[in-house]
Amino acid sequence: MTAAFIPPSQRDALTRWLDHLRALDGAAAHTITAYGADVARFLGFMADHRGPEGLRAIATLDATDLRAWMAWERGRGLQARSLARAMSAVKGFVAWVADREGVDATATLSARGPKFRRKLPRPLTVDGARDMIDTVGDQSQTGWIAARDMAVVTLLYGCGLRISEALGLTGAAHPLRDTLRIKGKGGKERLVPVLPAAHEAVARYVSLCPFNLASDAPLFRGARGGALNPRLIALVMEKARLQLGLPATATPHAMRHSFATHLLSAGGDLRAIQELLGHASLSTTQAYTAVDAARLMEVYDKSHPRA
């Protein structure tokens, strides 16, 4: 199915809905792209399943239509998690259409998506996180690049940043203040405290960097002076984890997971951690309570082995 099979009125409505998300809801660019693709497939399927219809018909679909669409998506290999996201996108679009067309979309909006088990975050231990930062600095023989890599990974762990957020910093961020103003997903801003270790790591990198770090240019640079590619940080962490014997889950994002889990283990407030991470929903942050409980049971089992 492609957007070419979507009736014009529905295609136009999809464009306007995406514009609405982009302008008013502040949705991230990749979210807009994913939702657009999800709804386009849904509309394409319905045009084939029911025949070309007007816009109002989309808001009055029944459970049978939705089950047929979900079965088609699963049949082409879409996993439950992705299908749940697609269902969320479809419901958002249908609710928007129903509001404008003045129709009752209860049947569609009350439909249940597939159940799936959320994967728990896979953080490193405290020692593992520290060893990762130190070992990352040993991967390059070029001093400023080694300092750069250590600075980035220190920000991921010490401030709980996403890799895109760390690499989105500009020269204006240096020297680091006691707090960083970070623009996260959906353009949402948050303030993140900066630990002395992060101050020191970034200051060392800046002192060694051979490029002019203008206030409006990227803070972290590649070997030729351009913006640092996040894949390079992933690669240097991959080399470090192989040396340390850490699992494949020891990725840049795992440093952010480690930040949250270690804060929670130290008695951090869940709401405060939600704010530091920039999660829109507390339920996302609550995943770390399950990780903490799992670690506690692991320690318990080792301390009290069954006979």
Residues with catalytic function = 162, 185, 253, 256, 279, 288
Pick from 260, 134, 140: which is nearest to 201 by CA?
134
Q: In Å, how far from its chain's centre is CA 221? A: 23
**Alpha-helical segments (H) within the chain:** 8-20, 29-50, 55-58, 63-75, 80-101, 106-109, 126-136, 143-159, 163-167, 196-208, 230-244, 252-265, 270-277, 282-285, 287-303
Residue 276 identity: L
Question: Phi-psi category of 187—alpha, beta or left, where left has phi over 0 and alpha has psi -120 to 50?
Answer: left
Token output for 59: 């808001």
